[in-house]
Chain A
């Protein structure tokens, strides 16, 4: 069943949802990266919760004008209006009062969401039986998606991606260094609003599939996961898009295998799995890689210290040092230095002596900045420079 879902063989509707969710995920991941890097991740939570009253009001309006009230485009337009109002409220509260942004987010999020829930209840009582499953906008649903709905999602996602491409330089600059951006004449406030406007567009477009409560996860988790893999903004954006796309595709496919599975939570769980994997195994910033790097560095330090102790005939007390040196064949089991041990110790001592001379010479100030107790000097100086330096070493080090 899952295999059929993943290969898009579960029928027309499931295929629409799966492809739609993938496009949404790509756009959400790329957009969310800028929110995450600009430390505005939670703004998207306020924006998404502020969509609910819009959905309800749009439904009521459409019914009042004699429609069926279920047109996705109409509902999304309504959600866009109230979430834009919510966004403006957060922005105004932060800039015009002394309220901090987190407080503004908390206030806007709860008030708008509460209002939306009240409206949903009103709809239920006034139009019993015709609620049209508005509560599916809370957690997303794959049921009853139409071709037109898929087109709305695909088009919206593509437009947002284009906007991200166009605005990537100003958004990166503002996220990294807003003061420099302002000094260079960028309108920082407008760029931030544009960034959050894009998040709003993602939220609105994603209402149907992911739902408003969890869309924040699709904006943020792919970016956080991607950050483990790269130190470059461009790569993080691309990776986040890819992760978001995978989460959307796989999540929607899984949820299509059983009618009762809500789409949003499944997509979020898949995104979380990607996050967890990144956290553990990513080579750039992953936990495992960091641990290995630390162990390797620690070993390097211990061996260097051990070699210097050998060279100056000092005893080595630390167990770890002895063990590491034994494993490298530098000392025998009884702690006496081997042939290689003596040779490497002499070399380490010479290196250290050279560094001492170098660091006491103001002419070498630039090279001296490379000293960290571990770097061999011959990786910093040319052989000719080394030769010149050795003349200052004195007779003791003529090994």
Chain B
């Protein structure tokens, strides 16, 4: 099936391959109150790609992810995963929310948090088996946290907490990974650890989409960027998207020319 929709902006083109993409967003508008946080955004994310969603504060980056997952209800727009409705493909999608969204004094151990990634396969009553435990420990090992398995989560540093969240996503054994600000407030070692895990995922043909706020590191970490400020500004390789006019459109006066130079 080939479907072509041309809008006045001329960028809304949907072909059959686009339609089967792990995540395809069409005409998405999300609004809190009467001011759209995200307006008529199209985005397509392909297998083996690692994309940064970049934009200034309040540009709708996190909202875009949450709407894609159905956590916030969109005003309009279509979301599909591998050509299917999002709801039917949940098992193939892992989500890493912002670290700050959680009560870190919750009585739970690192191991238990990562185990939450497998609640779908565990169901309501099944006992945790050796196989589940192995996946959990392997996921922790991939983020370098295996020796923290029985720690209480409140004892972890910010970077360690973020790694645990990533391990929980790995334990979901998904094909599409959506991460909300995975590098916010983490130490350099964690940043490196996370990026290498994400690159492994990309190499394995998974799709990785991360909200990112640091223009300077984006070219080094990601192969594609999705520039957003309520509407889509640009989407493509770093070289294609990070042009002076695009950055101006996304950040306006908020971006010093020096920073822009660093990013380009």
Residues of chain A touching chain B, judged by Cβ–Cβ distance below 8 Å, are 37, 39, 165-167, 169-170, 172-173, 175-177, 179-180, 182-185, 227, 230-233, 235-236, 365-366, 369
Q: A233-B108, A236-B107 are in contact. Are A182 and B70 (CB under 8 A)?
A: yes
B189 x A365 contact (CB < 8 A): yes
- Residues of B near A366 (CB, < 8 A) are 144, 189
Using a CB-CB cutoff of 8 Å, which residues 175-209 of chain B contact chain A?
178, 189
- Residues of A near B106 (CB, < 8 A) are 37, 175-176, 233
Binds A, one of B34-42, B44-52, B94-102, B236-244: B94-102
- Residues of A near B97 (CB, < 8 A) are 177, 179-180, 183
Using a CB-CB cutoff of 8 Å, which residues 130-186 of chain B contact chain A?
144, 152, 154, 168, 172, 178
Q: Which residue of chain B lies nearest to A180 when distances are taken between CB atoms in the complex? A: B97
- Residues of A near B116 (CB, < 8 A) are 172-173, 176-177, 180
Interchain CA distance A37-B112 in the complex, whole Å: 15
Residue A180 contacts which of B70, B122, B125, B168 (CB distance < 8 angstroms)?
B168
B108 x A232 contact (CB < 8 A): yes
B237 CB to nearest A CB, Å: 28
- How many B residues have CB within 8 A of the partner chain? 33
Interchain CA distance A175-B113 in the complex, whole Å: 12
Q: Which residue of chain B lies nearest to A166 when distances are taken between CB atoms in the complex? A: B124
Q: A177-B97, A232-B107 are in contact. Are A184 and B124 (CB under 8 A)?
A: no
A184 x B108 contact (CB < 8 A): no
- Residues of B near A184 (CB, < 8 A) are 90, 95, 119-120, 172
Interchain CA distance A184-B178 in the complex, whole Å: 11
B71 x A233 contact (CB < 8 A): no
- Residues of B near A167 (CB, < 8 A) are 124
Q: Which residue of chain A lies nearest to B169 when distances are taken between CB atoms in the complex? A: A180
Interchain CA distance A233-B101 in the complex, whole Å: 19
A296 CB to nearest B CB, Å: 17
B109 interface residue, CB < 8 Å from A?
yes
B107 x A177 contact (CB < 8 A): no
B149 CB to nearest A CB, Å: 13
Using a CB-CB cutoff of 8 Å, which residues 80-129 of chain B contact chain A?
87, 90-91, 93, 95, 97-98, 101-103, 106-109, 112-113, 116, 119-120, 122, 124-125
Interchain CA distance A365-B189 in the complex, whole Å: 8
B210 CB to nearest A CB, Å: 14
Residue A166 contacts which of B101, B119, B125 (CB distance < 8 angstroms)?
B125
- Residues of A near B66 (CB, < 8 A) are 179
B247 interface residue, CB < 8 Å from A?
no
A-B interface, 5 closest residue pairs, ranked by CB to CB distance from nearest: A183-B95, A185-B90, A179-B97, A231-B152, A182-B71
- Residues of B near A183 (CB, < 8 A) are 69, 71, 93, 95, 97, 178
B189 x A369 contact (CB < 8 A): yes
Q: Which residue of chain B lies nearest to A185 when distances are taken between CB atoms in the complex? A: B90
Residue B107 contacts which of A37, A173, A185 (CB distance < 8 angstroms)?
A37
B105 CB to nearest A CB, Å: 9
Q: A233-B112, A366-B144 are in contact. Are A176 and B189 (CB under 8 A)?
A: no
Q: Which residue of chain A lies nearest to B72 when distances are taken between CB atoms in the complex? A: A182
- Residues of A near B119 (CB, < 8 A) are 169-170, 173, 184
- Residues of A near B108 (CB, < 8 A) are 172, 176, 231-233
Complex A-B: 27 CB contacts under 8 Å: A37-B106, A37-B107, A165-B125, A167-B124, A169-B124, A172-B108, A173-B119, A177-B97, A177-B101, A177-B102, A179-B97, A179-B98, A179-B101, A182-B69, A183-B69, A183-B97, A184-B95, A184-B120, A185-B90, A185-B120, A227-B107, A231-B107, A231-B109, A231-B154, A232-B108, A232-B112, A233-B112
